[in-house]
Amino acid sequence: MFYSDDKKQYSVLNRRTFLLYLLKVSFFGIVGWRLYDIQIKNSEKYKTLSKNNQIDVEIIYPLRGKIYDINNKILASNIKVFDVYIIPENTKNINKSLNELNQIIKINFSDRRKIIELSKKVKKFEKIKVLENINWSELEKIEANKLNIEGIFISQDYMRIYQHNNTVSHLIGYTNKPNREEVELPFIVNMPNLEIGKAGIEKSFNPNLIGKSGQREIEVNSYGRVIREISRQDSQKGNDIHLTIDLRIQKYALNLLKEHKAGSTVLMDINNGNILCMASTPSYNPNKIIQKPNKEYWDSILENELSPLTYRCTQGLYAPGSTFKMVVAIAGIVHGVIDTKTKHFCSGKIGLGDRLYHCWKNNGHGLMNVSDSIKESCDVFFYEISQNIGIDKIAKVAEDFGLGKIYDVPLPNQKKGIIPSRDWKKKKYDESWYPGETLISAIGQGFVLTNPLQLAVMTSIIASNGKNVKPNIIKQNTNIVFEKLEKYQNAINIIKSSMFKVVNDNKGTAYNSRSESAPFAGKTGTSQVRRITVAERESEDFRKKEVEWKKRDHALFVGYMPVENPRYAVSVVIEHGGSGASTAAPIAKEIFQFTKKLET
Amino acid sequence: MLTKIQNLNYLLIFLVILISFIGAAGLYSAAGGSYSPWASRHLIRLTFFIFLAVILALINIKYIYQFAYVFFILSLLLLLSVELIGVFGKGATRWINLFGFSIQPSELIKITIILALARFYHDLKFDEIKQIKNLFFPILILFLPFALVVIQPDLGTALSIAMLGILILFASGIRIWKFVLGLFVLILSIPLSLNYLQPYQKDRIFSFLNPEADALGRGYQLIQSKIALGSGGLTGKGFLEGSQSYLQYLPEKQTDFIFTLIGEEFGFIGTMFIILLFLLLISVCFYISIKSNHIFGRILSIGVGSNLFIYVIMNISMVSGLMPVVGIPLPLVSYGGSAMLAIIMSLGLVLNVELNGNLKKLHNA
């Protein structure tokens, strides 16, 4: 059925259809006229543009930002080098060109494959780096043969250089070619050849350090000679980064550490959280990593079982041993379990269940209060009080003092460590907590794991009378104020006087390391890496025996300086160093004295 | 059935094949004289899609009419799922994987919009068209896909959906003053929408307004495109003789900028030939529309013709510098499955309308 007014509707439709058709034809007319304008009227102009000249676009790579220490000493910058490039569209056969080049300088096989692979991916006019940092005689040879080899050219370039080789290598990291995933990163779009940071600060600050690429549009004739530059947009240099590290202390500390196989130390400025020194040994030389060929050096690093790439300050996890006792004592005082008068008798061991828990001093310390037990590092006192405090309260205080945390500092791959609690064990092992585990935890053994940076932060919080000190590695222009944890004030006062005695009282464990020029306070720690058997314990002199390096205890020391109004906090960990008093404390002393000397 | 096959509009089919062959030649040249990777797949798709289109043409139009809204809603859901994948998955995307084919729902939706509007105006009495309330539904049909495409963000497709809507509403007899009002609103909304554009889209528009200021970036594409077209002259440089080096600078030489390559190699004669072929194809759609004696068929054919027109005009205007580079392919010539599928299927619908044009009634059965 037609509707009654169908006829009228169809006539409207016909009219509209006709109008629409007219509109379309006229649009086609406009487009046709435009093409006539370009292709016929102005054809000559475009033909000359096309025939004699062509336009080339070159990406101008930005210069990577420099890295400085706190006193504006350069830690990383760029030097001029000569590199050889190939442009795929300028050679008929990229294989042939590489072959010819290979006769002048060896190009290894896998590099060649990568170049050819890359040439298929990037735009034909994009230059690809073939060799870098060539020496003078190579440069001369290539210059002489340049005309015979299609598509190659030599360009002055910049290479990253680390002025202090392995002194700050872990912290700063190094740069290298992006891998397959990294090429997709937004800040290096268009720049597949750009070296980017692969570790440390170089990695964390890639977006800042890289800067912005520029481009250059040039007109070249059919022989490839540049006729003129049409436009140029310069690249923008990357931002410089200023660290809080003091190169002088860093160097000094690393030299002290180097006397041992493996270890690390962190020195912090308590007032602002600035990390002044963060040294780890063994370390590596980033210059040897970025200068090709580097295969041998890489292999030697990877084969080294001490793993030089590991940044022990943040990535090394150690049982804190007796350095953990401050946290336990503070927990005891704050929760009213102990006060300065509380005493326990140390006979060298206590029993719990069917196990014996030993003090490091086999025949015991006698009657001990909290101050003495920190000064002489009595284990039994802490076994006793920990049972009354309970692991969960200890864990809470430990976290307030910065342990078991990953800090918001731009250091990649920080290890969190473990501050055990009932919940933690339930989640991790689906087991309930055993009372004996509280005892072991109270002397910083068992499950407890911390990294040296955390220990330095813990010490800073104690030394600052409970300010919530946060570590900081980038130099700040503003003053930083940390909030204060008031509830710990009283407990901290007691602990600080005990820590003073550790170093300055003749019964203190670190008395041998006391310093006249830079008086300091602190706490030693010796953490077992294996269980001591009953037979060994009975043979009286088991601690004096020469044991295999790997089985020796880790040596730890944490401390602050000066004693009144402390400014610096330190942590020292020497792997398998024996005891904290003999190995770690002397290093802390040297670092404090050196730092003090710099102040004057 | 056999009579239906005999009565197919072979002129239309011939035009589709001819234009697609020119496209294949362009793709062959763009690949530096090679069937792979584009030309061969282009031709395989052409064969397959024409086959599908003929099947579509033979279906009774009643079913197409009945399912018009269903098709629209399905394609809208597809478009929405692309958005959701974009939001929850790995960033923005225009593609969705369907039965092993990755397709672009924004291309398909244009066809289902035409179907939905054709059905809507078919169902409406002539008197009712005047009523304001009957504008609500068509505007909803246009606005939903438009909004989804805008946030993708795909400026070119959004613009073409808006233009398609305007042309169809015009064809269906909406009062002229409503268009004037609509245009007014559109102009007012330009400064507002500029705020929502992605930076790269703003770049494109500003570089269009002043290409020399940005001869290096976006404007550069346009200058290269014009050099390629202009250097073709009247007769072109000859097949495969186009200066490849230019086209290296055109990042989308096998898709949006294929017309430039053809213009360079076949000159003004070549570009005019293509334009005339498209004009002829659109004329066939209009002819079939006029011949059809039901509103559904009329609007459908005009819609398909207009859709084709929008593609062609936008693409050529874009490469010749008449409008900003917004990313619209040249139908049947540019490489790309979704657009080709949508175009050939829609022409299949037009073939169908012609075969069913004499139906006296097409009822709301």
Sign of CA dihedral A380, A384, A387, A390: negative
Name the residue of chain B whose CA is nearest to A32's CA.
Answer: B272
Distance from CA of A237 to the nearest CA of B (A): 20
pLDDT at position B255 is 82
According to DSSP, residue B94 is labeled S
Residue A545 has pLDDT above 60, yes or no: no
pLDDT digits over A173-210, tens only?
A: 999 888 877 777 777 767 777 888 988 999 999 988 98
Distance from CA of A17 to the nearest CA of B (A): 6
Say how far apart CA B245 and CA A52 lie, in whole Å.
12
Residue among B167, B246, B313 whose CB faces A20 most closely: B167
A1 pLDDT band (50/70/90 cuts)?
A: very low
Distance from CA of A42 to the nearest CA of B (A): 7
Residue B211 has pLDDT above 80, yes or no: no
Range from A30-44, B52-66, B143-157 carrying the lowest mean pLDDT: B143-157
Range from A113-122, A389-398, B15-24, B274-283 carrying the lowest mean pLDDT: A113-122
Reply yes or no: is the peptide bond before residue A282 cis, omega within 30 of 0: yes
Average pLDDT of the segment spanning A265-281: 94
Percent of chain A exceeding pLDDT 90 equals: 52
Which residues in chain B are closer than 8 Å to A233, comparing Cβ atoms? 216
Percent of chain B exceeding pLDDT 90 equals: 41
Contact A482, A470 (CB under 8 A): yes
Average pLDDT of the segment spanning A435-446: 92
Average pLDDT of the segment spanning A241-269: 94
pLDDT digits over B155-197, tens only?
A: 788 889 989 998 999 898 888 787 788 778 777 777 766 666 6
Q: What DSSP assignment string belongs to A220-248?
A: EETT--EEEEEEEE--BPPPPEEBS--HH
pLDDT at position A257 is 94
A362 pLDDT band (50/70/90 cuts)?
A: confident
Residue B249 has pLDDT above 70, yes or no: no
Name the residue of chain B whose CA is nearest to A49's CA.
Answer: B227
**Homologous superfamily in CATH for domain A57-241:** Penicillin-binding protein 2a (Domain 2) (3.90.1310.10)
Say how far apart CA A86 and CA A349 lie, in whole Å.
74
SS3 A155: strand
- Side chain identity at A319, as an amino acid letter? A
pLDDT at position A222 is 47
A534 pLDDT band (50/70/90 cuts)?
A: low
Range from A28-32, A537-541, B49-53, B127-131 carrying the lowest mean pLDDT: A537-541
Average pLDDT, chain A: 87
Q: What is the ipTM of this complex?
A: 0.91
Nearest alpha-carbon partner for A15 in B75, B244, B302: B302
SS3 A283: coil
A137 bridge partner residues: none
Contact A557, A510 (CB under 8 A): yes
Supply the Cα-derived Rg of chain B in whole angstroms.
Answer: 21
Average pLDDT of the segment spanning A487-495: 92
pLDDT digits over B33-46, tens only?
A: 788 888 999 999 99
Greatest Cα pair distance, chain A, in angstroms, is 118
In chain A, where are the structural domains located?
A: 6-41, 57-241, 247-303+312-599
Question: Phi then psi for A215, rounded to 5 degrees?
Answer: -140, 160
What the block records as the tokens of A198 is: 């692969």
Residue B234 has pLDDT above 80, yes or no: yes
pLDDT at position B215 is 46
Which residues in chain A are closer than 8 Å to B231, comparing Cβ atoms? 43, 46-47, 49-51
CA A60 to chain centroid, in Å, comes to 29
CB–CB contact B230 A42 (8 Å): yes
Contact A218, A55 (CB under 8 A): yes
In chain B, where are the structural domains located?
A: 2-355
| Helical H segments across A37-89, by residue range | 43-52
Say how far apart CA B337 and CA B254 lie, in whole Å.
12
pLDDT at position B216 is 46
Contact A559, A514 (CB under 8 A): no
Name the residue of chain A whose CA is nearest to B226's CA.
Answer: A38
Say how far apart CA A574 and CA A581 lie, in whole Å.
11
Task: Determine how β-strand B101-103 pairs with β-strand B96-98.
Answer: antiparallel
CA atoms within 13 A on the CB side of A375: 18
Average pLDDT of the segment spanning B211-233: 69
Which residues in chain A are closer than 8 Å to B304, comparing Cβ atoms? none
| Helical H segments across chain B, by residue range | 2-7, 10-30, 39-58, 61-66, 68-88, 105-123, 126-129, 133-150, 155-171, 176-196, 199-209, 218-232, 244-248, 258-291, 295-319, 337-355
Cβ burial, residue A89 (10 Å; 0-12/13-18/19+): middle
**Homologous superfamily in CATH for domain A247-303+312-599:** DD-peptidase/beta-lactamase superfamily (3.40.710.10)
Coarse DSSP helix, strand, coil percentages of chain A, rounded to the nearest 5 percent: 40, 20, 35
Question: Phi then psi for A159, rounded to 5 degrees?
Answer: -125, 145
CB–CB contact A217 B220 (8 Å): yes
What the block records as the tokens of B277 is: 């072929």
Write down how long chain A is. Answer: 600
Residue B17 has pLDDT above 50, yes or no: yes
Residue A544 has pLDDT above 70, yes or no: no
CB–CB contact A57 B216 (8 Å): yes
Distance from CA of B310 to the nearest CA of A (A): 9
Range from A38-42, A175-179, A252-256, A537-541 carrying the lowest mean pLDDT: A537-541
Residue among B126, B246, B271 whose CB faces A3 most closely: B126
Reply yes or no: is the peptide bond before residue A178 cis, omega within 30 of 0: no
Range from A115-119, A357-361, B111-115 that averages highest in pLDDT = B111-115
Residues 6+ apart with CB under 8 A from A551: A529, A530, A576
Nearest alpha-carbon partner for B143 in B178, B113, B179, B187: B113
pLDDT at position A230 is 73
Nearest alpha-carbon partner for B16 in B61, B48, B40: B48
Contact B265, B232 (CB under 8 A): yes
CA A469 to chain centroid, in Å, comes to 20
A30 pLDDT band (50/70/90 cuts)?
A: very high
CB–CB contact B320 A35 (8 Å): yes
Say how far apart CA A283 and CA A39 lie, in whole Å.
67
Average pLDDT of the segment spanning A582-596: 94
Distance from CA of B248 to the nearest CA of A (A): 7
What the block records as the tokens of A92 is: 């008929």
Say how far apart CA B105 and CA B161 lie, in whole Å.
13
According to DSSP, residue A472 is labeled B
Q: What DSSP assignment string belongs to A302-363?
A: HH-TT-TT--HHHH--B--GGGGHHHHHHHHHHTTS--TT-EEEE-SEEEETTEEEE-SSTT
